[in-house]
Amino acid sequence: MKTLVNIDNGKKVKILKISGGRGIRQHLQCLGIHIGDIVTIKKSSFLGGPVLLEINGYDVALGKGVASRIEVEEVE
Amino acid sequence: MRIAFVGQPNAGKSTIFNGLAGYKTITANFPGQTVHYTVSKVTVGDETFEIVDLPGIYSLTAIDKAELESRKYILSGQTDVVVNVIDASTLSRSLELTLQLTELQVPMVICLNMIDEARRKGMEINIEKLSKIFGVPVIETVANKGIGLDKIFISAKEAYYKRLIPNIQSFHKDIEERIEEIEKIIPEEFFSKIPKRYIAVKLLEGDEELTEEIKKYPEVLNKVREIREEIKSSHGRHADTVISSERHALTMNIFEEVTKIGEPLKSTREKIDDLLTNRYLGYPLLFLILFGIFFIVFEIGKLIEEPLISIFDSFIQKLPTIVKEDSLTFFILKGLLEGFSGGLGVAIPYLIPFFIGLTILEDIGYLPRMAFLMDTVMHRIGLHGKSVLPFIISYGCNVPGVMATRILESPRDRFITATLSVLIPCAARTTVIFGLVGAYIGGIAAAGLYIFNLFVIMILGAILTKFIPEITPGLIMEIPPLRIPTFKNVFMKTWLRLKDFILVAWPLLIISSIILSFLEYFKIDTIINLVFFPLVSWILGLPEQTGLTLLFGILRKELSMIMLFQAMDTTDLSKVMTNTQLIIFTIFTIFYIPCVGTIGALIRELGTKKTLIVSILTILLAIILSLIIRILLSIFG
């Protein structure tokens, strides 16, 4: 299964599953990240660094720990 | 009429508030700048409005401490009109909060701020349609340019007098039935000011605070649990996820109905942004930007300081010809002059360029990018990227730095970040570093102290993490677009920060300086110095007169330097102190016990016990570090 951590720059992905407790789920939902959403990877994780995503026109940074809990599939 | 500004972080609530109330609160381009609320009274025509600027919240389910504050205020039922401030360029997400606000059934105005930015992204929003959907006035503003702000009071009045309560947008029928079921069994007296539907939805979502409260009514709690389970089995997902997806679906529907999306304007801003967060170039740029700011502050400060100081010096030297030396009047006048010149000549020349630099960085939106770049490094000390923000703010002043730890989610992160934040050289300690080490030894030595300081913070962070292991998932943070700072905002913000120094710190400097003169006159200073003699002379190897100055430094850190000139009775310290002594004095001042203001902030954020621990820890740290450096310098120096 692919997570946000192993997606290359510029790729579009669809979010399939978010694992983790209610805390993380709610926090991501607040920032407008939901299952089924399509996001673009602006900066992929580098040396364990965070991932930068674009979703509906704005940017969100996710640390590697969080990103690795979000399962995705590439679209297009 | 009481109007509360409610909106997601970085939507521009404070900018609007400042535009309406005059400049009262500090704004910045990063999510979570406002951590406590500000109230102001504004009179327009014959009507007085009380406006409240609340910390940003992503949803009415609070995640961090700042959000909890907002929620408490909103739920207390003190507001007559809610102005929902929305960053128009993030409309799709922001509407989720709007949906939750409608459930509170308070007259509302929707304010689409930063409409210019939305247009740059190619978004066209149909405000008539949006207004019709929610049944409340919708206005467009560009707060940082002051556009559209005049419409806020007009619309708020309209919403209040016509009682324009927002329409609730219904979820799917099966969920609505569940909500209704809970609504019916909530006891009348349970948060009687808040609509039952809101409570029912939050209980379904498993809201911690409300669930805790409803435990007093076990039969309700059981029913809620039962329904949550039913939803889980029928939808195959947790009830909170189901509600959130429902809300998300509703917002996306509304968003698509009211917005037309065209081609975004690809601009140089995106290219710069790309460069700033580049995985290779981002770090040298970060270093250059920070180094550049300190270099400019140092150069400009020195340029202003030297002529100013010489004016005061010549005046102080002439003093014995005006008043009789060794008289009490002479001592008081000398203390007054030295305190006055300490503020004007030493602190202000460095403070102004420093505040301008910090403000520009904040308003551009560079700080969240730093958080992004530094995330990996921060993990090494058991924190994540967001902790960078309190750290950077602490370079200005530790008090807002400690308060900014509220943007962190876990108490553990808040404790470690606050503890490390108070070690960061604030503007006051910057003046000490520049005024002593920079002025007498050189800019490189001063820069070296900053690097040494960072090094110590990293090690201490790594040690603290060993004792309190990391459990947080990590960075989840919005990165707002880069913005061009407006001249007015930079000017006003610098002024607001400087005003704090002039009104609070400077008088304190002058008074303390006079007190020191008194102590000298009555020879009490020697007694105090005698008490501190073992620490000051034996451990730190400093002249014994410095004991008293270090004691004063607890009030304001720059006091210890200004007192030092007075205590050593010279304006040229290099004649009475060695370079090693100057460095040790500066290091001790940087690390030992936070100033009174910071201690106050720590007590508010962490409680008395933890504050005590932090204070003792910092004193020990200062002694150990000074000792190590003293030994090292005596070997290699």
Domain boundary among B161, B190, B220: B161
Q: Are residues B206 and B311 in the same domain?
A: no
Q: Which residue has the higher pLDDT, B326 or B255?
A: B255
B624/B627 Cα distance (integer angstroms)? 5
Distance CA B152, CA B132 (A): 18
Q: Has the ipTM of the complex gone over 0.85?
A: yes
Domain hosting B604: range is: 282-477+484-636
Is residue B269, in this structure, part of any structural domain at all? no
> Do residue B479 and residue A20 have CB atoms under 8 angstroms apart?
no
Decide the pairing of beta strands B2-7 and B38-44. unpaired
Return d(Cα B370, Cα B354) in angstroms, integer.
Answer: 18
Residues B190 and B117 in one domain: no
Whether B385 sits inside 8 A of A50 (CB atoms) is yes
| Least confident interval from B21-25, B192-196, B335-339, B588-592 | B21-25
Q: What is the pLDDT of residues B427-459, one digit of tens each?
A: 889 888 988 898 889 888 988 999 999 999 999
Residue A29 has a pLDDT of: 85
How much is the average pLDDT of B610-629? Answer: 94
- For residue B293, pLDDT over 70 is answered with yes
Asked if B591 and B621 touch (Cβ cutoff 8 Å), the reply is: yes
Q: What is the pLDDT of residue B317?
A: 79
Closest CA to B34 of B66, B73, B11, B82: B66
pLDDT at residue B62, as a whole number: 67
The residue from B161, B182, B208 where one domain ends is B161
Min Cα–Cα distance to chain A from B474, Å: 5
Alpha helix stretches (DSSP H) within B592-607: 596-606
pLDDT in tens, B207-244: 888 888 899 999 999 999 999 999 999 998 888 889 98
| Interface contact A4, partner B, CB < 8 A | no
Percent of chain B beyond pLDDT 90?
40
Do the Cβ atoms of B478 and A46 come within 8 Å?
no
Instruction: Answer yes or no: do B443 and B407 share one domain.
Output: yes
Q: Are residues B69 and B135 in the same domain?
A: yes
Residue B163 falls in which region: left (phi positive, over 0), alpha (psi -120 to 50) or beta: left
At B521 the pLDDT is 86
Task: Tell me which chain A residues have a C-beta less than 8 angstroms from the C-beta of B63.
Answer: 23, 26-27, 30
Predicted local confidence at residue B624, as pLDDT: 95
Decide which of A62 and B344 is more confident: A62
Residue whose token pair is 């003699």: B533
Q: What is the CATH number of the domain that holds A55?
A: 2.30.30.90
Specify the CATH number for the domain of residue B238.
1.10.287.1770
Q: At residue B571, does pLDDT exceed 80?
A: no
Q: Is the pLDDT score of B480 beyond 70?
A: yes
Record: contact A65-B96, CB cut-off 8 A: no
Chain centroid offset of residue B542 CA: 36
pLDDT band per the 50, 70, 90 thresholds, residue B574: confident
Q: Does B422 share its domain with B462?
A: yes
Q: What is the DSSP string of B88-129?
A: GGGHHHHHHHHHHHHTT---EEEEEE-HHHHHHTTEEE-HHH
Which pLDDT score, from 0 to 100, does residue B568 have?
Answer: 85
Our CA-based measurement puts residue B65 at a distance from the nearest CA of chain A, in whole angstroms, of 14
User: Residue A35's domain spans which residues?
Assistant: 4-74
Query: Which among B539, B538, B543, B510 has a CA at the least distance from the CA of B525?
Result: B543
Q: What is the mean pLDDT of chain B?
A: 88
Residues of B with CB under 8 A from a CB of A: 58-59, 61, 63, 89-90, 92-93, 96, 121, 123, 206, 238, 240-241, 244-245, 248, 264, 277, 279, 368, 371-372, 375-376, 379, 384-385, 409, 473-481
Q: Assess whether pLDDT exceeds 90 at residue B330.
A: no
How does residue B389 score in pLDDT terms, banded at 50, 70 and 90?
A: confident
Write b or e for each residue in B458-495: b if 16 or more Cβ atoms lie within 10 A of its Cβ, otherwise e.
eebbeebbeeeebebbbbbbbbbbbeebeeebbebbbe
Q: Estimate to the nearest angstrom the gap between the alpha carbon of A18 and the chain centroid.
A: 9
In angstroms, the separation between the Cα of residue A73 and the nearest Cα of chain B is 19
**Residue B383 and residue B291 share a domain:** yes
**B588 and B513 share one domain:** yes
Q: Please report the pLDDT score of residue A59 as a whole number.
A: 92
Taking contacts as CB-CB distances below 8 angstroms, the residues of chain A near B368 are: 61
- Residue B97 forms part of a structural domain: yes
**pLDDT tens column, B367-384:** 999 999 999 888 888 888
Cβ contacts (< 8 Å) between A24 and chain B: which residues? 473, 476
Q: Locate tokens 């943007």: which residue?
A: B407
CATH of residue B154:
3.40.50.300
Per-residue pLDDT reduced to its tens digit, B295-321: 887 788 878 877 887 888 788 778 778
Look over chain A and give the mean of its residue pLDDT values, rounded to a whole number.
89
The total number of structural domains in chain B stands at 3
Work out the end-to-end distance of chain A between its first and last CA atoms, rounded to an integer number of angstroms. Answer: 18
CA B298 – CA B446 distance, rounded (Å): 10
Contact A13, A29 (CB under 8 A): no
Q: Are residues B466 and B317 in the same domain?
A: yes
Asked whether residue B149 falls in the same domain as residue B201, the answer is no
Structure tokens at B150: 């005049």
Q: Given pLDDT bands bounded at 50, 70 and 90, which one contains residue B471? A: low
| pLDDT (mean) for B503-526 | 83
HSE-CB for B387 with a 13 A CA cutoff: 31
Crossing angle, helix B366-380 and helix B268-276, to 10 degrees?
Answer: 20
CA–CA gap between residue A32 and residue B292 (Å, rounded): 37
Mean pLDDT of B97-124: 93
Say if residue B33's pLDDT is above 80: no
Residues B225 and B150 in one domain: no
Q: Would you state the pLDDT for residue B32?
A: 66
User: Cα(B494)–Cα(B347) distance, rounded to whole angstroms?
Assistant: 14
pLDDT, residue B472, reads 65
Domain count for chain A: 1
A40 φ, ψ to 5°?
-110, 135
Chain B neighbors of A35, CB-CB under 8 A: 241, 245
Tell me which chain A residue has its CA closest to the CA of residue B93. A32
Q: Give the number of other CB atoms < 10 A from CB of residue B263.
A: 7
Closest chain B residue to A46 measured between Cα atoms? Answer: B279
B324 and B390 belong to one structural domain: yes
Residues 50-69 of chain A with CB under 8 A from chain B are: 50, 52, 56-66, 69
Range from B50-54, B63-67, B510-514, B620-624 carrying the lowest mean pLDDT = B63-67
Q: Does position B502 have pLDDT exceeding 70, yes or no?
A: yes
Contacts of B58 in chain A (CB under 8 A): 30-31
In this structure, the answer to whether residues B150 and B202 fall within a common structural domain is no
For B631, the token pair is 């030994």
B608 pLDDT band, cuts 50/70/90, is very high
> How many C-alpha atoms does B448 have within 13 Å on its Cβ side?
11
Task: Give A42 to chain B, closest Cα distance, Å.
Answer: 9
User: Is residue B167 assigned to a domain?
Assistant: no
Q: Which residues, including other chains, have CB under 8 Å from residue B231's CB and lie 6 or more apart?
A: B175, B178, B204, B239, B242
Chain-chain contact of A30 with B59 (C-beta, under 8 angstroms): yes
Asked if A58 and B478 come within 8 Å (Cβ–Cβ), the reply is yes
Interchain CB distance below 8 Å, B385 and A62: no
Q: pLDDT category, B346, cuts 50, 70, 90?
A: low
C-alpha B379/C-alpha A63 separation (Å) is 10
The residue out of B161, B191, B222 marking a domain boundary is B161
Is A58 in Cβ contact with B474 (below 8 Å)?
Answer: no
Name the E strands within B430-589.
476-479
Asked if the structure places residue B572 within a domain, the reply is yes
**Residues B204, B227: contact at Cβ < 8 Å?**
yes
Q: pLDDT at residue B35 above 70?
A: no
Give the residues across from B108 on adjacent strands.
Answer: B82
